[in-house]
Structure 1
Amino acid sequence: MATFSIATLFSILLTLFLATLLGVTKVEARSFFVFGDSLVDSGNNNYLATTARADSPPYGIDYPTRRPTGRFSNGFNIPDLISQHIGQTESPLPYLSPQLNGQRLLVGANFASAGVGILNDTGVQFRVYESGARRVLVTGTGPLGCVPAELAMRSRNGECSAELQRAAALFNPQLTQMILRLNSQVGSNVFIAANTELMNTDFITNPQAFGFVTSKVACCGQGPYNGLGLCTRLSNLCPNRDLYAFWDPFHPSEKANRVIVSQINTGSIEYMNPMNLSTILTLDSQT
């Protein structure tokens, strides 16, 4: 399952507030579309013939229904929490869900798929700006070398993988510069760079400051750091998920997702460039 770690390098969460694509004319009726990998998948892989699935317990153990939904989380993931912040009563449904029709299309849709860009059955590309997107949030990669899966495979004393950390350090600044150049070309701050490497590094390097007991050991898993294999009914499972920065070998816990989304909402320019989500919502409400 190391492909998840590689896929994270290419993980892009796109929040799209559309005015033209769906004929929406009021800011209050903004639609929200998501593209990316397992970090933001809300259940598309439930409908695909793939091994990258989160449709069995204990996934979803802290979700309101206490049932697995296809989210690679113990509860809410990042799109869920952003949906709540922008005032939606429900998160965008997976685009493969048979329930996604009619009025629900105005809410948006989630096109994310675990393993995107790595597995042949999940890779899709979109030209979002030309399709009408006018606000696009693009996340970089997190600290790839510090997830429990990499610690289990590469670490001797709990140190992060230097090779993967260098890859992230090379990728993220160039992504931000590319986004700023795109904004210059279109003449507007359409694209927003979310520095998820820094957002994750904050609680990975100082977990106690955020109420975590550890950022090295996953809540659900097996082997060193609970970082080997999938999270299953037979895995080690922590009794309090809020004390762990990582839910499984690759994915943050719901509480860690809340930390990330808090910075997306109100973070300074080093976290959100050129502006955070709250500023976007304020500006859009004035137009």
Structure 2
Amino acid sequence: MHLSVVKAILFSIYASINLCNSEKTTNLPKNVSVSTLIAFGDSFVDQGNNNYIKTLLKADFPPYGKDFRGGKPTGRFSNGKTIADILAEALGVKEYLPAYLDPSLRAKDLLSGVSFASGGTGYDPLTPKISSVIPLSVQLDNFKRYIRELKRNIGEEAAQNLITKSVFLVVGSTNDLVINYFALPIRRLQYDVPAYDNKLVKLALNFVQEIYKLGARKIAVFGAPPIGCTPIVRTTTGGAFRRCQDKENNAAQLFNSMLKQQLQVLASSLPQSSLAFVDVYNPLITAIENPNQYGLEVTDKGCCGTGTIEVSGLCNKLSPTCYNDSKFLFWDSIHPSEEGNKILVNHILPDLVHSLF
């Protein structure tokens, strides 16, 4: 992946991935309820925070949001709901998870949770610099501010109790691998794939420990998706037949195996914690290889424009959209459609609930 990817992605693009289909939900164990969901990370769970910063990586214009409430583009990198929205609803928290930077956010909205995520960010501090988005370090600062606001609103003890019982989502690595490592040369000159994956895993674990110190106990850390099968990677490096790329997929799988193992080790050293590794790789690959099983028809292109390269600014009001986005796994050339996100949540929710409760 060379200059063509850099141009395509840095001019207007960016990333994470999701997945989806039917709207099944999983029942929580008896005597367990979730009142608050909090998300950190990238465009997988960016609910519109990038609307309020200076960056090219935005999704606050049509046709983004065409199937969202009122057909409104909110900054979500999808035609509709994100994984965060669907999980919030499945866990019985609320229908939509709001962006923390949304100026219309009310004090009562904080009680049921927010997203601090920023499309284009990653674990590697260099990743958000590439696209001028919100680093995880600043997301952590915003979380600390959120806690202070909670304490002012409901008192210190109630605020700390709320944080302890909250479910936390941590979603990263896609931009670190797709953009920072494979599209640009700096990190490849410094690290081979195993060394860079190891770096990302250490940074992910450090972030988990930081939010643990602030009271987080139920933490779900998402693995990397099959980045080599995203439409944009197929287009830029997959040749005439736009094949999935093993090099990128192997890097994602290695990261996932390292992360899963090290999360288990870390959990043993964090008292009263429940750490869940969330596998998004295998559900996505399954949907890509068996589209009919999920009512899908197209898994190698997005719904927006040609579906081969459009994302963020390249997916705009001049871009035609597909005949039926519920038949497409991807909405743009990187992000799953709402239908794709539903499929993913249906896959991950049972294990997620089992691991956290």
Residue type of the alignment partner of 2:135: G
Separation (CA, whole Å) in 1 of partners of 2:15 and 2:334: 11
* Contact 2:16–2:119 (CA under 8 A) maintained in structure 1: no
- Alignment equivalent of 1:54, drawn from 53, 59, 76: 59
* 1:99 maps to 2:104: yes
Is the 8 Å Cα contact of residues 37 and 93 (structure 2) preserved in structure 1? no
Q: Percent identity?
A: 35
- Alpha-carbon distance between aligned partners in 2 of 1:37 and 1:254, rounded to the nearest angstrom: 16
User: In terms of mean alpha carbon deviation, does 117-126 or 92-101 score higher?
Assistant: 117-126
Q: Where does structure 2 lack aligned partners over 5 or more consecutive residues?
A: 1-7, 18-30, 141-209
| Structure 1 partner of 2:81 | 76
AA of the residue aligned to 1:131? L
Q: 1:260 to 1:183 in 2, by over 3 A?
A: same
Whole-Å separation in 1 of the counterparts to 2:14 and 2:310:
15
Structure 1 CA distance, aligned partners of 2:45 and 2:258? 22
Deviation at 1:6, TM superposition (A): 8.4
The alpha carbon displacement at 1:139 in A equals: 0.4
For 2:261 and 2:352, the matched residues in 1 are separated by 19
Whether 1:124 and 2:136 are equivalent positions in the alignment is yes
Matched residue type, 2:237: R
The alignment's C-alpha RMSD in Å is 2.2
Contact 2:45/2:83, CA 8 A, preserved across alignment: yes
SS in 1 for 2:277: strand
Give 1:141's match in structure 2, choosing from 197, 205, 224: 224
Aligned partners of 1:27, 1:130: CA distance in 2, in Å?
23
CA distances 1:1-46 after superposition (whole Å, capped 9, x unpaired) = 436998649xxxxxxxxxxxxxxxx964632110111111100011
Could you tell me which residue of structure 2 aligns to residue 19 of structure 1? Answer: none
| Cα separation, 1, equivalents of 2:104 and 2:266 | 35
In the superposition, relative to structure 1, how do residues 189 and 124 fare at CA in structure 2: closer, same or farther (>3 Å)?
closer
Deviations 1:124-154 (A, max 9, x none): 2342111111111110110001001111111
Cα distance in 1, alignment partners of residues 339 and 80 from structure 2: 9
User: Quick one: distance in 2 between partners of 1:236 and 1:158?
Assistant: 21
The offset of 1:103, in angstroms, is 1.6
Cα gap change, 1:201 to 1:265, in 2 (>3 Å): same
What residue is the counterpart of 2:354 in the other structure? 279
Tell me, yes or no, if the aligned pair for 1:141 and 1:196 is still in contact at 8 Å. yes
Distance in 2, Cα, partners of 1:87 & 1:169: 31
* Among candidates 339, 352, 356, match of residue 255 of structure 1: 339
Supply the AA of the counterpart residue of 1:45: N
Out of 293, 308, 312, which is 1:226 matched to?
Answer: 308
AA paired with 2:258? Q
1:17 equivalent in structure 2:
none
Paired residue type of 2:227: L
Contact 1:219–1:238 (Cα < 8 Å) also in 2: yes
Provide the secondary structure at the position in 1 that maps to 2:69.
Answer: coil
TM (normalized to structure 1)? 0.82
What CA distance in whole angstroms lies between the structure 2 residues aligned with 1:5 and 1:67? 20
Separation in 1, partners of 2:71, 2:105: 22
Residue-by-residue CA offset, 1:222-268 (whole Å, 9 max, x unaligned):
3xx532452112223102101101000000011110011011212xx
1:1-287 aligned within 5 A: 1-2=8-9, 8=16, 28=33, 30-117=35-122, 118-120=127-129, 121-125=133-137, 126=140, 127-156=210-239, 157-188=241-272, 190-222=274-306, 225-228=307-310, 230-266=314-350, 276-279=351-354, 283=357
Question: Using a 3 Å threshold, how does the CA distance of structure 1 residues 63 and 105 change in structure 2: closer, same or farther?
Answer: same
Answer yes or no: is the 8 Å Cα contact 1:208–1:214 preserved in 2. Answer: no
Q: Which amino acid aligns with 2:238?
A: S
Offset from partner CA, 1:187-211 (integer Å, 9 cap, x none): 4551100111111111011112111
Of 130-139 and 90-99, more deviation after overlay is shown by 90-99
- Structure 2 CA distance for aligned equivalents of residues 170 and 278 of structure 1: 25
Q: TM-score normalized by structure 2?
A: 0.67
**Count of aligned positions:** 255
Distance 1:102 1:95, change over 3 A: same
Q: For residues 48 and 106 of structure 1, do their structure 2 counterparts lie closer, same or farther at Cα, with a shift above 3 Å needed?
A: same
